[in-house]
Chains A and B, each alone.
Chain A
Amino acid sequence: GQQLNQSPQSMFIQEGEDVSMNCTSSSIFNTWLWYKQDPGEGPVLLIALYKAGELTSNGRLTAQFGITRKDSFLNISASIPSDVGIYFCAGPDQGAQKLVFGQGTRLTINP
């Protein structure tokens, strides 16, 4: 089946630094979704991308739908402590009404 590979698996940064993470697949996706999960909570949808090349921002977050439709990127500018959590990418499974999720990128911020 389809798989999504996220990298890096974990990040340890200083407060104020910019963050970049990505999600790649061997197959094409028509939609890319980025979620954030706070510790002990359910994931929250941050950004949805629907078109190849699309660049969408949500505050300090910016995500891009790769031109090849096989990857997506999420950037966080000027990180703050509340950015800590796990970031998941997801895309619709071909032929099924369900999502494929990446394994997540765990972000830790040192104040």
Chain B
Amino acid sequence: DGGITQSPKYLFRKEGQNVTLSCEQNLNHDAMYWYRQDPGQGLRLIYYSQIVNDFQKGDIAEGYSVSREKKESFPLTVTSAQKNPTAFYLCASSMSQEQFFGPGTRLTVL
């Protein structure tokens, strides 16, 4: 089936550790996006990528890093520099204006 997968669904890490969130799509979409969502809040853009080997910072990129080595994959690393990393992270992809979202990863930093 075509779609966007994010794994794992729930992730726990100790404070001070870097953690990488996975996002894979088999929709052959060129663009991919990472969003952060805090409880009761909207979506905030972290990073996005229009093509392989290229990406741009979104509104809240500090403390995060990404790579886009393959069209299908856009992993997000939450570094120890991110002051408040506990949140729900959503990945999306698009071919045109409509974005399609994965199921999300809930990261809890203890």
Q: Which residues of A contact B (CB under 8 A)?
A: 31, 33, 35, 40-45, 48, 88, 90, 92, 97-99, 101-104, 106
Q: Which of B42, B50, B100, B104 contacts A104 (CB 8 A)?
A: B42
Given contacts A97-B50, A98-B58, contact A43 B90 (CB under 8 A): yes
Instruction: Decide if A41 touches B98 in the complex (CB within 8 Å).
Output: no
Q: A40-B106, A101-B42 are in contact. Are A48 and B48 (CB under 8 A)?
A: no
Smallest CB–CB gap between B61 and chain A, Å?
Answer: 13
- Since A41-B103, A42-B90, A97-B48 are in contact, a sample of 6 more A-B pairs with Cβ atoms closer than 8 Å, ordered by chain A residue number, is A40-B106, A43-B101, A88-B43, A101-B43, A103-B41, A106-B40
**Sampled A-B contacts (28; CB under 8 Å):** A31-B97, A33-B99, A40-B88, A40-B104, A40-B106, A41-B103, A41-B104, A42-B102, A42-B103, A42-B104, A43-B43, A45-B98, A45-B100, A48-B97, A48-B98, A88-B42, A88-B43, A90-B99, A92-B97, A97-B48, A98-B45, A98-B58, A99-B97, A101-B42, A101-B43, A103-B41, A104-B42, A106-B40
Chain A residues within an 8 Å CB radius of B107: none
The reply on B33 being an interface residue by CB < 8 A is yes
Residues in A with CB closer than 8 Å to B78 are: none
Inside 8 A of A31's CB, which chain B residues have their CB?
A: 97
Of A42, A92, A103, the contact of B42 (CB 8 Å cutoff) = A103
